[in-house]
Amino acid sequence: MRNAKIEVRPIAGTIGAEIHGVDISKTLDDATVGDIRKVLLDHCVIFFRDQSIDIPQHKAFARRFGEIFIHPNYKGTGPDPEIVGIRREPGDTKIVGEEWHADTTMSALPPMGAILYALEVPPYGGDTLFANQYQAYEALSDGMKKLISGLKAYHSDRKVAGPQANMNAHRSTKVREDADWKETVSLHPVVVTHPETGRKLLYVNHSYTTHFEGMTEAESKPLLNFLLEHGHRPEFTCRFRWEKGSIAFWDNRVCKHLAIHDAGPWRREMRRIQIAGVRPV
């Protein structure tokens, strides 16, 4: 289906746009998918309102942008390995994604994006923030850009999965903590070139980046902490308020995001599919 009424409404100065006039439950033609991809590349994260999609429709939409990525730390925690259910119940003391992060960057081939669909949301609270890492890189001084241009950093999932992380005792969304779980570590450049836009961006995040190649964690900490905090300066961000039927589709190669843990007495349930990506270079 070609939808000629696609409308793009930016929601912040440097990142984020709502797309209106597209029904994700329908089979979209190549031109419409191309339009959506262009808006994603231009705005880094895109949002749809008032959608009604089941799991097969969610998967079909994701596959228009690439193969579905199987998350190693959620594999086996639900009936369908292509789906990650993200649930927050009243009383949970932790939630998924409450640090600034890009998804699953401990992987050698991190996902290019994620499509998150709201099944049940609180009347207020539970918003998500997104931060543009093109802007984070471009705002650095020439001296800092030169300093980090050849650096690589290690990314590990030891903070977010496995028995040592002890996440399952504090939240309703469960992650692998079995004895067969093994830490995954990958080395990625600190400055990455986006494979589609060719633009440079800052590629470190709180949940996964541990230290720089050739340095200890203690030696890395001052510079790494500066880059981590710099990456979500307010002028690089947008904030999305969820409604039932909302969809967020972010370019994981250039966005960091954070789930705000402020839903109080309310339940929140989301369904996520990730899209496979390539090695950051």
Per the prediction, the chain carries an average pLDDT of 96
In a domain, 280, yes or no: no
In a domain, 187, yes or no: yes
Summarised one tens digit per residue, pLDDT across range 43-87 is 999 999 999 999 999 999 999 999 999 999 988 788 999 999 999
In a domain, 170, yes or no: yes
Q: Whole-angstrom Cα distance, residue 196 to residue 235?
A: 24
Average pLDDT over residues 190-197: 98
Assess whether pLDDT exceeds 70 at residue 2. Answer: no
Q: For position 4, what pLDDT does the model report? A: 55
- The encoded tokens of residue 139 equal 């705002």
Summarised one tens digit per residue, pLDDT across range 176-188 is 999 889 999 999 9
Residues carrying an active site annotation? 101, 103, 257, 272
Domain count, the chain: 1
Q: For position 82, what pLDDT does the model report? A: 97
Q: Whole-angstrom Cα distance, residue 189 to residue 133?
A: 14
The edge-to-edge listing of strands for the beta sheet with 255-259 is 237-240, 128-132, 255-259
Summarised one tens digit per residue, pLDDT across range 214-240 is 999 999 999 999 999 999 999 999 999
In a domain, 264, yes or no: yes
Q: How far is CA 182 from CA 43, 50, 88, 108, 161, in A?
A: 36, 40, 26, 15, 9
- Give yes or no for a contact between 72 and 107, defined as CB atoms under 8 angstroms apart: yes
Q: Whole-angstrom Cα distance, residue 122 to residue 120?
A: 7
Q: Whole-angstrom Cα distance, residue 16 to residue 258?
A: 14
Q: Could you tell me the residue range of the domain that residue 180 belongs to?
A: 7-275
Assess whether pLDDT exceeds 80 at residue 154. Answer: yes
Q: For position 46, what pLDDT does the model report? A: 98
In a domain, 1, yes or no: no
Domain CATH for 79: 3.60.130.10
- Give yes or no for a contact between 154 and 186, defined as CB atoms under 8 angstroms apart: yes
Q: For position 203, what pLDDT does the model report? A: 98
In a domain, 59, yes or no: yes
Average pLDDT over residues 15-40: 97
In a domain, 140, yes or no: yes
Task: Give the residue, 62 or 5, on which the prediction is more confident.
Answer: 62
In a domain, 2, yes or no: no
Assess whether pLDDT exceeds 90 at residue 243. Answer: yes
Assess whether pLDDT exceeds 50 at residue 1. Answer: no
pTM over 0.75: yes
Q: For position 281, what pLDDT does the model report? A: 97
